[in-house]
Amino acid sequence: MHTSALVLFSGGQDSTTCLAHALERYQRVETIAFDYRQRHSVELDARRVVLQEIRKQFPAWTLKLGEDHLLDLAVLGAVSETSLTRDTAFKMEASGLPNTFVPGRNLLFLTLAAAVAYRRDLQVIVTGVCEADFSGYPDCRDDTMKAMQLALSLGMDKRYLIETPLMWIDKAATWAMAFDLGQRSGVAQGGQKLVDLIVEHTHTCYLGDRTHRHVWGYGCGACPACELRKRGFDRFAAPAD
Ligand code: ZN
């Protein structure tokens, strides 16, 4: 029986939903993120605010929410030439991957997360990777996660579970999952409260735009991340008929 988890928490919509998932499911939950000199520190600011708001609005979850770990990973920015760490425009590479792909990023994140989980005696590593995502990042695939789970468990001689609650669902279903988790939080209108919190405080936009507010949150409205978030929210919010 698993009772504790470490959530890879970037401050975006997906990882905030994963955090809610872990808080609903486990007794002790800690969070981790990496500063790899992202082009915008907006994400790192967002995660502080999201954690604050969760503590403020969801008392039952606050009791389970433990330490937050922020690891310096500047070396990742130094070895990769991508539009997430450099000031270059987004485009598709000849490989078929967008130039937002940071090779090995998730592999590094999971390895470091497992090292922290080892030290903190946390059993489950929760990550918001998704195969239904537009980007097709190979380090977000289910096969990669299974291989990492095996490698980390063998390499650290500890049985890790890598949990990926969003692996097979699209963004509309991610919003619906957040609503459902909020409903089960014990807070009145918790579903709407969690959706509102995600809209207002999480950050997804590749350009780091926090000036344009839409019904689905802040962002430029045009980059691939904004498009995906907007389309998902529209389908989630559309009245069923
Ligand atoms: Zn954007």
- Tokens representing residue 130 in the block: 């998704």
Task: Read off the CATH number of the domain in which 163 is found.
Answer: 3.40.50.620
Share of residues in the chain with pLDDT > 70 (%): 87
Q: What pLDDT does residue 85 have?
A: 56
Task: Give residue-wise pLDDT tens across range 114-157.
Answer: 999 999 999 999 999 998 865 678 888 999 999 999 999 999 99
- For ligand 1, the distance from its centroid to the CA atom of residue 208, given in whole angstroms, is 7
Is pLDDT at 240 greater than 70 in this prediction?
Answer: no
Q: What pLDDT does residue 165 have?
A: 98
Least confident of 84-93, 136-145, 189-198, 218-227: 84-93
- For ligand 1, the distance from its centroid to the CA atom of residue 27, given in whole angstroms, is 35
Q: List the domain range (segments joined by +) for residue 231.
A: 4-237
- For ligand 1, the distance from its centroid to the CA atom of residue 178, given in whole angstroms, is 21
Considering its fold, how many domains does the chain have in total? 1
- For ligand 1, the distance from its centroid to the CA atom of residue 214, given in whole angstroms, is 11
- For ligand 1, the distance from its centroid to the CA atom of residue 11, given in whole angstroms, is 15
Mean pLDDT confidence for 66-77: 90
Mean pLDDT confidence for 25-35: 96
**In angstroms, rounded to a whole number, what is the distance separating the alpha carbons of residues 237 and 133?**
19
**Max CA separation in the chain (angstroms):** 52
Q: Nearest-CA neighbor of 128 among 230, 56, 39, 32?
A: 32
The one-letter code for the residue type at 211 is T
- For ligand 1, the distance from its centroid to the CA atom of residue 203, given in whole angstroms, is 9
- Whole-model pTM: value is 0.92
Share of residues in the chain with pLDDT > 90 (%): 73
Mean pLDDT estimate for the chain: 90
Is pLDDT at 11 greater than 90 in this prediction?
Answer: yes
**In angstroms, rounded to a whole number, what is the distance separating the alpha carbons of residues 201 and 138?**
28
- For ligand 1, the distance from its centroid to the CA atom of residue 224, given in whole angstroms, is 7
- For ligand 1, the distance from its centroid to the CA atom of residue 210, given in whole angstroms, is 9
The phi and psi torsions of 51 (rounded to 5 degrees) equal: -60, -45
- For ligand 1, the distance from its centroid to the CA atom of residue 154, given in whole angstroms, is 40
- For ligand 1, the distance from its centroid to the CA atom of residue 50, given in whole angstroms, is 19
Q: What pLDDT does residue 76 have?
A: 81
Mean pLDDT confidence for 188-192: 98
- For ligand 1, the distance from its centroid to the CA atom of residue 65, given in whole angstroms, is 30
Q: What pLDDT does residue 88 have?
A: 60
In this structure, how many other beta carbons lie within 10 angstroms of the beta carbon of residue 186?
12
Question: Where does the pLDDT of residue 98 fall: very low under 50, low under 70, confident under 90, or very high at 90 and above?
Answer: low
Q: Nearest-CA neighbor of 65 among 30, 19, 39, 90?
A: 30
- For ligand 1, the distance from its centroid to the CA atom of residue 227, given in whole angstroms, is 7
Q: In three state form, how does the secondary structure of 213-227 look?
A: EECCEECCCCCHHHH
- For ligand 1, the distance from its centroid to the CA atom of residue 204, given in whole angstroms, is 7
